[in-house]
Amino acid sequence: MKKNSNRLVILLLLFTLACGHNIERNDEQNFIPPTLKNQPRLVYPKDAQEKSYSGSTKLILSITDLGTVGKVFLEKSSGIEMLDKTAIDYCKNLVFVPAKQDDKSVYSRLRWEIQFNISTQDLNKDKYIDEIKNLFSTILNAPTSEKNKLERTVLMKHDDFVNTMTDALNFNAVCEQVILPEVSEEWKNDWNGWPLSFILYHDFLVRFSDYDSLSIVKAKLVNSLKFDIQYIKNTPAINHDVKKDKENILMKIKNFISKHYPDILLDNLGFDEKNDSRSITFHQSYANR
C-alpha cells in the first residue's frame, strides 16, 4: 500500500444534536417533539478532505408521522456546496421517534446543524488496531468454548470503527493493518482511492468461518457494500480521471461480489440507481414561512 501524504489530516464530523430543536408553533398542550432514533454512517467527502474544507450547514427537516425525513431544507449554507450536499444526503436517512400530539404521531419540523471541522485527532484508530490485533492473538490460543465470544467482540470493534471513522483518506490504511495479507493483496492497487468498509466483514468471514452467526456478518457485509457503493457514486466526478477511477472501482467491486458472493444480487446494491433527489429542497427562507 502506498503511504498517503495526507495521513495526518483527520476530519471529525460533529453532529450537533443540541441544535435539533422543534420549530413548529404549537400552542396546544401534550405536544412531544421528535427524538432521534437511528442515524446512518457518514464519511467526510473525499474531495473536501483533500482540499481541507470545513464549515457548518444549517438545515430544516420535515419529519413525517412515521418518523422518516420527508424533505430537507437548506436554511444556511456552509459555503461549500459538497459539504451542504453531504449534510442533506445524511439527514435524508435519519430516523426519528415521531412527534406526538395527544398520544398521536404527527408531522413536525426540526432545525438541524452539522458541523464539518478539520482536526488532528486520530479518532482512536491506533487503539482500534491494537485491540483487534490483541483479540486475534487471544483467539488463536483460546478454547473452543470461548472463541465465538471473542470473535463477537472483534465484530463489535469492527462495527464501532466503521460507524465512527469519518476519515476517507486514511480509512483503508487502518483496515490494511488488521486484515489478512491475502485480502489486502486483492485490493492493494485501490487502497488510496476509496474507503472500503465491506473488506473488514469479508476478512471476518474468511478468517472465522466457524463463527456461529455468519448470516449476521453477511448482512453487515451487504450493508457496507451498499454504503460504499453509494459513497463512490455520490462523489463528484470533477475531472476525467476521477470519473474513470469511479468506473474502475465499481467494476472491481462487482467482480469481487461475483467471485466471492455470487448469491448476492448486484441489482440490490444500488449500482445502477440514479441519485434520488426527491427529498432535497434548497430554500433559504423556509423557516420564516
pLDDT tens-digit map of 156-191: 999 999 988 877 888 898 999 999 999 999 998 888
Task: Answer yes or no: are the C-beta atoms of 52 and 118 closer than 8 Å.
Answer: yes
Mean pLDDT along residues 18-44: 70
How many angstroms separate the CA atoms of 84 and 61, rounded?
14
Q: 140 falls in which pLDDT band (50, 70, 90)?
A: very high
pLDDT over 90 percentage in the chain: 48
214 vs 190, more confident: 214
Task: Answer yes or no: are the C-beta atoms of 75 and 59 closer than 8 Å.
Answer: yes
Mean pLDDT along residues 46-68: 88
Q: 236 falls in which pLDDT band (50, 70, 90)?
A: confident
Distance (Å) of CA 170 to CA 2, 50, 160, 166, 194: 11, 11, 16, 9, 9
The fold for domain 10-121+277-288 equals: TolA/TonB C-terminal domain (3.30.2420)
Q: State the burial class of residue 59 (Cβ atoms within 10 Å of its Cβ: 0-12, 13-18, 19+).
A: buried
Domain ranges, ordered by start, for the chain: 10-121+277-288, 125-268
Helix (H) or strand (E) holding 126: helix 125-141
Is pLDDT of 66 > 70?
Answer: yes
Is pLDDT of 44 > 90?
Answer: no
Quote the pLDDT of residue 126.
Answer: 87
Mean pLDDT along residues 134-158: 95
